[in-house]
Amino acid sequence: MAIKYESRNRLNMTRADIIRLLIKSMGILTFIMTIVFFVPNILLLSVYKSRLEDYLPLALMLIFLGIAMHILMRKTDQLIRFFKIDQGFEFEKVDSSIIDPISLLKVCLIMLSFSLILYNIPEVITQIYYIFKESIPQNDLDGYANNIPYSNVDYYQLITSAVKIVIGYLLLSNLKRVANWTIKRTDF
């Protein structure tokens, strides 16, 4: 479906266009979450030299998420027609003098970026604190360091949380490119 441009270079958006854009942003979310959550698990399994059947549930989940991402990104119109998502609204057209699809997608990407960054900063700080605590000799600081609660350093958690922060930052810093690429690459 093509979007009609008005004379002021603003888009004439329908409710189906907005729904299509939200579904595509869910596809981007699925892709990023697949990378952020499943790639570290695959690497962890390979470090422990697991058996082939240990990879099977993870592989099935990756296949399922790949299919879901494909449907969300490439088969959006069929999904809207199948579930009749765009029916039952009082209005057909949306006043798009303020917002366009790229701006709406940017808002979704900003929320995703901030969630990746903000949910992982506490874990990175905690693990850095544990590394710092581990490096202090037990007899220094007049016993003060012994009173601080301590857990073992989890380098896997530190690395995966740091990678998630980096992905969130890269997504935030390349917001315009990702939004334009998504709009250009799809049938929107």
Q: What tens digit of pLDDT does each residue of 7-16 get? A: 344 456 777 7
The residue that leads in pLDDT, 6 or 174, is 174
Which residue has 């007899």 as its token pair?
Answer: 139
Q: What is the C-alpha separation between 102 and 106, in angstroms, rounded?
A: 6
Beta strand 11-14 with 93-94 is antiparallel
Of 2-11, 135-144, 171-180, which one has max mean pLDDT?
Answer: 171-180
Q: Of the given ranges (68-77, 130-139, 175-184), which has the lowest mean pLDDT? A: 130-139
**How does residue 146 score in pLDDT terms, banded at 50, 70 and 90?**
low
130 Cβ partners below 8 Å, 6+ apart? 150, 151, 152, 153, 154
User: How much is the pLDDT for 7?
Assistant: 35
Residue 4 phi, psi dihedral angles, 5° rounding: -90, 130
Predicted local distance difference test score (pLDDT) of residue 185 = 61
34-75 pLDDT tens trace = 777 777 777 777 777 667 777 777 778 888 888 888 888 888
Alpha-carbon span 89 to 85, nearest angstrom: 10
H or E element: which one contains 45? helix 15-47
